[in-house]
Amino acid sequence: MAEAASDSVIVPAETTQDDRTMAVLTQVLQVVGGWIAPLIIFFIRRQSRFVSFHSLQVLFLELVYMAIYVVLVVVWISSIGLVIIRTHGADNHPFPAALFIVLPLLWLALMGLWVVRIVIAVVYAVKAGRGEWAEYPVLGGLARRVLKIGPGGAPTS
């Protein structure tokens, strides 16, 4: 019974200080460089499973971030366009009060998205600096499947 329990324990793959540094850079540079820095690091350090794993997670996060950002901007522009169309040509048509609610809420959503991005970058940069194979929710599992690595960086067959 003790042997079965020890077989299920996942031993993380060893990481070098250079790998940890590059993984930290990948996490931190997403804030200022978006997807460009993680993509460059992903291709430069492709041989390191640890760096590739963290870089790919950041790239997936950037894709999700950009998709959400585009949707919010489209809603923002559409709401302004609808107000212009609705009020164009009307002599005494009042300015819609809903616009004073919708636009600030969209702006808060964009800023909240930016804050979440910074928090994720800091938290996972610290974990990468410790050499942890920390996974983003949902995106970490996807990155592991794409790179064909198991939990803790173990290669899958």
pLDDT at 24: 94
Q: How confident is the model at residue 2 (pLDDT cuts 50, 70, 90)?
A: very low
CA dist 51 and 133 (Å) reads 10
Instruction: Tell me which of 38 and 95 has the higher pLDDT.
Output: 38
Residue ranges per structural domain of the chain: 16-153
For 149, the 3-state DSSP assignment is strand
pLDDT at residue 6 is higher than 70: no
pLDDT at 9: 56
21-68 pLDDT, tens digit each: 999 999 999 998 889 999 999 999 989 899 999 999 999 999 999 999
pLDDT at residue 97 is higher than 80: no
pLDDT at residue 4 is higher than 60: no
Average pLDDT over residues 69-89: 81
Average pLDDT over residues 76-82: 83
Least confident residue range of 15-19, 85-89, 98-102, 129-133: 85-89
Beta-carbon count within 10 A of 8 CB: 6
pLDDT at 115: 94
Rounded to 5°, the CA angle 45-136-32 comes to 60
> Any idea of the CA torsion for 141, 40, 131, 143, to the nearest 10 degrees?
10
Average pLDDT over residues 14-24: 90
* Average pLDDT of the chain to the nearest whole number: 84
